[in-house]
Amino acid sequence: MPRKFDLDDGSLMVIIGSGAGGGTLGNELAQKGIRTLILEAGPRIEREQHVDDERQSFGQLTWLDKRTTSGSWAVAKNYPKVPAWTCKVVGGTTVHWAGCALRFQEHEFRTKDVYGDIPGASLLNWPLTLSEIEPYYDKAEDKLGVTGTHGIPLHNACNNQIVMAAGAKKVGYKEYFTGNMAINSRPRDGRPATTQDGFCYQGIRSNAKWSTLNTEIPKGEATGNLEVRPQCQVLRIEHDNSGKVTGVVYADKRGNHHRQRARIVCVAGNSIETPRLLLNSASSKYPDGLANSSGQVGRNYMRHTSGTVWAIFDKPVRMHRGITMAGWIKDERYHKPNRDFVGGYYMEIMHLGLSFLAGNMATNADFGGWGSEYTRVMEAYENIAGMRLVGEDMPQATNCVTLNPTEKDQFGLPIPNIHVDDHPNDIAMRNDAYERGGMVYDAVGATRIIRVPEGLAAHNLGTCRQSARHEDGVCNKWGQTHDIKNLFISDGSQFTTGAAANPTLTIVALAIRQAEYIADQMAKHL
């Protein structure tokens, strides 16, 4: 039975956020017998209520509280009101993710050594290595039921992937397949196999996709050690005179404030809300915000170098039928010193329904979002194939989440501003990826290739990065903040660099590892 904990229970683990980091950590701790409370800002919307409709689903799941954005990235122009696509529901953004579950490559943990000095980039080696995290990748893949691992069969290719794979073969690529997906290819863990329904972003109606909402959270609750308190948005984290955190103040759905005591606080609000909360928790002892003696909180925001390549054919593709992103080309993921950029990227199939494709196509600068060229493209809907480009972007100290100096949210707290300037490396990589993505489709007879700039940031990373040295980051290799021993970062904010891979599997692996560390530290009386 789910537990109900007291506000005054100062022996609790309190986790802020219930997504890939927070939801996983909560279950892992609960399984170890540690009494854990998750405070989630959004409501609990069970999968039966999820809808196969892009717009309705967007309204139902997305974090729509106002954010501002600045800088040269395309998002500031095209999506100024909702720069990031994160979710405000129990399950966090795992309700909305596409299910791509990739490991980082070995060199991506030590980019400072491998890439060298890149002007303008704040590259840093992770304080941990691939071999240290590998056992946790194994556990994470097993937990998520990732296809192509642990004897789980790969998915069958859908139309969109059949087109991309045929093009990949023709241009000489070797590593193309239906991907390592956290979507069941056969019944597993009490959940059914995929029906190729095509609504991977719009929740988990089919229950085939792993999300903390349908796995970690109910499993944790079943132990009797986990409570998930929805519609409770944490406003600040409090501390005592010694500097240790003592609990949090949150607003419930009626706007009433409550003080929840805690033994340890783990922040997993994603790379925008996590630094915002630390900054909004500034006090006389920590005037620059919690865990921010290095000045690194909010800095090095990353979102992957991204963009979309659409291809129009003279015959039907019907890309919307099938798993949204079950199709990858991995050949460009490597760091190849002979290219004019460092790091690598993946090509991953992606489809949109008519509604979101209309908005996406409207951001193509060539035809300006109206006129006969635009409508001709839309009329070709059935004949379009598409891929999303996902590559490593450069961390930059000036790409950062800060508090907006004038605008406040419904609780009177400063809203976050996300500032991003493309690094020259990001631009060079994106151009290469556009070029090669177009070649893949040209090889199978595309009549037109359309490049669309990056959309709302779905991979939000960095901002509270792990670092070996106190002054270079915010937390150590366990996610424990350098400044405050009982305050942890438990989401993608702790990424030192972003790698080319979609981030969720790494967030989950780090959460499993962090749970072990916390249990060990608690035994040692943290």
Partner 1 sequence: MRKTAEATELGSSKVYKYQRLPSGLVEQLVSIYRTMFPHSTVPDEFYQHVVRKLDDQAAIDQDLSGLLSDGVEALNRRAGSGWTGLSEEARLKALKEAEQTPFFQRLRSDFVFHFYSNPAIWPLFGYEGPSNDKGGYLHRGFNDIDWIKGEEV
Of residues 265 and 317, the one with the C-beta less far from partner 1: 317
Q: Which stretch binds partner 1 (CB under 8 A): 30-38, 101-109, 161-169, 233-241?
A: 161-169
- Closest Cα to residue 272, out of 36, 59, 512, 69? 69
- DSSP type of residue 245: E
Q: How far is the CB of 119 from partner 1 (least distance, A)?
A: 36
Three-state DSSP string of 195-244: CCCCCCCCCCCCCCECCCCCCHHHHHHHCCCEEEECCCEEEEEEECCCCC
Q: Which stretch binds partner 1 (CB under 8 A): 112-120, 153-161, 221-229, 263-271?
A: 153-161
Three-state DSSP class for residue 305: strand
Q: Which stretch binds partner 1 (CB under 8 A): 94-102, 260-268, 362-370, 509-517?
A: 362-370
Q: Give the separation between CA 495 and CA 475, rounded to whole angstroms.
A: 10
Of residues 55 and 469, the one with the C-beta less far from partner 1: 55
Q: Which stretch binds partner 1 (CB under 8 A): 65-73, 123-131, 280-288, 357-365?
A: 357-365
Pairing verdict, β 245-251 and 257-261: antiparallel
Contact set for partner 1, span 265-324 (CB under 8 A): 315-318, 320-322
Per rule CB under 8 A, is residue 159 in the interface with partner 1? yes
Name the amino acid, one letter, at 417. N
For partner 1, the binding residue among 11, 49, 129, 355 (CB under 8 A) is 355
Per rule CB under 8 A, is residue 382 in the interface with partner 1? yes
Cα 75 to the center of its chain, rounded Å = 17
Of residues 170 and 258, the one with the C-beta less far from partner 1: 170
Of residues 7 and 64, the one with the C-beta less far from partner 1: 64
Q: How far is the CB of 54 from partner 1 (least distance, A)?
A: 7
Per rule CB under 8 A, is residue 379 in the interface with partner 1? yes
Question: What residues contact residue 342 under an 8 Å CB cut-off, 6+ apart?
Answer: 111, 114, 115, 118, 335, 392, 425
For partner 1, the binding residue among 358, 519, 522, 526 (CB under 8 A) is 358
Say if residue 358 is exposed, middle or buried (CB neighbours under 10 Å; 0-12, 13-18, 19+): middle
> Do 2 and 228 contact (CB within 8 A), yes or no?
yes
- Closest Cα to residue 395, out of 118, 71, 77, 107? 118
Q: How far is the CB of 438 from partner 1 (least distance, A)?
A: 18
Which residues are at the interface with partner 1 (CB under 8 A)?
51-55, 156-159, 162-163, 165-166, 169-170, 194-199, 205-206, 315-318, 320-322, 353-355, 357-359, 362, 368-372, 374-375, 378-382, 444
